[in-house]
């Protein structure tokens, strides 16, 4: 039942708070909207819209629907599984693999591979995103958790939303920073000039925090530091966050086709050894790897921490760079 507090809020906003208080389910606003659209949430036994204003005394009924049968054909694609139990699975996602299907990509995704290897995935993410509670960019590799039950899915969403998770990335970047460690804080939102890109230079966006640490720098005589290995630890998880923050700091990622991509005549490209340039050109995308993922198991409460080995292309490039380590 709706009390007097918050009745000026939209239904979707108010129900996020109400459902968490009453059931402990920490659903996102978009998940609430899906339930409203399918009449799984009713008020006084009538369907509503997300923007409906609830009144004190209204009776809210919530029905969590059974997951729909997935209309996605499983695909036999090799997956490196770092951990698995009846609640969740942690994988080392390959570079070049999109996480879930979309209107523009209907096959060849991580979800297709998961459905081949696993018998069950949580259904809250929807038909196209079963078990998916977070994503890595297509060309970002590394540790990623996928849920197998709805209970684990809801709990993992809460863990991510509260930032109770350790996420550390390795990034191979142009040049080397003067700092050893630095915290980068900004807003991140859609680039108004190019909606496919994200940007820090926005008036409206979401707060993003990345702690970066220089691990190694690579030098050439007469050129100085031409590249570096940087660790990026996420406090938040915004779209393209590591790539945007490091590019903004002057250290775009090797191989990134979107942010800070050099031309063949730019100094930062010409300063690279020929072997390194050749290896970068063979990369499918940015040299970014989700190295560490740590969290408390949402059901057993066991402390879990995983280190994912980088893919072959990343490791080959790193070996070449280390020839120039001081």
Axis crossing angle, helix 29-37 with helix 11-23, rounded to the nearest 10: 100
pLDDT tens readout for residues 259-284:
999 999 999 999 999 999 999 999 99
Q: Any idea where the domains of the chain sit in the sequence?
A: 11-62, 80-162, 167-292+314-324
Whether the full predicted model's pTM is greater than 0.85, yes or no, is no
Q: Do domains 11-62 and 80-162 have the same CATH topology?
A: no
Q: How far apart, in whole angstroms, are the C-alpha atoms of residue 111 and residue 70?
A: 11
pLDDT at 166 over 90: yes
Q: Burial letters for 160-169: b for 16+ Cβ neighbours within 10 Å, e otherwise?
A: beeeebebbb
pLDDT tens readout for residues 228-249:
999 999 999 999 999 999 999 9
pLDDT tens readout for residues 98-135:
998 876 788 899 999 998 988 788 775 555 567 889 99
Q: How far apart, in whole angstroms, are the C-alpha atoms of residue 245 and residue 199?
A: 9
**Structural domain 11-62, CATH architecture:** Roll (3.10)
pLDDT tens readout for residues 7-63:
557 888 888 877 766 665 667 788 888 888 888 888 898 888 888 888 888 888 888
Q: Can you name the CATH fold of 80-162?
A: Pseudouridine synthase (3.30.2350)
Q: Token pair of 92, please? A: 């080392």
pLDDT tens readout for residues 54-107:
888 888 888 876 655 557 888 999 999 999 999 999 999 999 999 988 767 888
Minimum mean pLDDT range among 95-99, 294-298, 303-307, 319-323: 95-99
Q: Can you name the CATH fold of 167-292+314-324?
A: Pseudouridine synthase (3.30.2350)
Q: What are φ and ψ of residue 168, in 5° steps? A: -130, 130
CB 209 within 8 A of CB 235: yes
**Catalytic residue chosen out of the listed positions 12, 137, 150, 256:** 137
Q: Spell out the residues 6+ positions from residue 54 whose beta carbon is closer than 8 angstroms to its own.
A: 2, 7, 9, 11, 14, 43, 60
Direct distance between the N- and C-terminal alpha carbons of the chain, in angstroms, rounded to an integer: 66
Q: Is 58 a catalytic residue?
A: no
């Amino acid at each position: 039942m709706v009390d007097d507090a918050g009745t000026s809020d939209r239904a979707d906003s108010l129900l996020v708070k109400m459902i968490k208080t009453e059931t402990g389910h920490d659903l996102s606003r978009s998940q609430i909207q899906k339930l409203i659209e399918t009449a799984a949430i009713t008020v006084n036994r009538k369907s509503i819209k997300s923007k409906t204003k609830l009144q004190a005394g209204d009776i809210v009924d919530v029905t969590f629907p059974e997951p729909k049968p997935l209309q996605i054909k499983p695909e036999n694609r090799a997956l490196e599984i770092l951990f698995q139990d009846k609640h969740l699975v942690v994988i080392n996602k390959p570079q070049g693999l999109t996480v879930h299907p979309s209107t523009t990509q209907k096959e060849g995704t991580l979800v297709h591979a998961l459905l081949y290897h696993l018998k069950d995935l949580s259904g809250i993410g929807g038909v196209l995103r079963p078990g998916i509670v977070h994503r890595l960019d297509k060309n970002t590799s590394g540790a990623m958790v996928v849920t197998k039950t709805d209970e684990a899915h809801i709990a993992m969403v809460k863990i991510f939303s509260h930032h109770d998770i350790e996420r550390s990335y390795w990034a191979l970047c142009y040049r080397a920073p003067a700092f050893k460690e630095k915290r980068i804080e900004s807003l991140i939102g859609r680039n108004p000039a190019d909606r496919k890109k994200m940007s820090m230079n926005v008036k409206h966006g979401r707060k993003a925090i990345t702690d970066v640490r220089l691990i190694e720098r690579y030098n050439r005589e007469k050129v100085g530091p031409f590249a570096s290995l940087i660790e990026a630890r996420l406090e938040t998880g915004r779209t393209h966050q590591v790539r945007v923050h490091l590019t903004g700091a002057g250290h775009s990622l090797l191989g990134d086709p979107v942010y800070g991509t050099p031309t063949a005549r730019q100094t930062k490209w010409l300063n690279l050894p020929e072997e390194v340039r050749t290896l970068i050109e063979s990369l499918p995308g940015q040299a970014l790897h989700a190295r560490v993922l740590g969290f408390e198991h949402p059901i057993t409460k066991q402390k879990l921490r995983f280190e994912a080995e980088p893919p072959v292309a990343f490791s080959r490039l790193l070996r070449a760079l280390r020839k120039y380590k001081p």
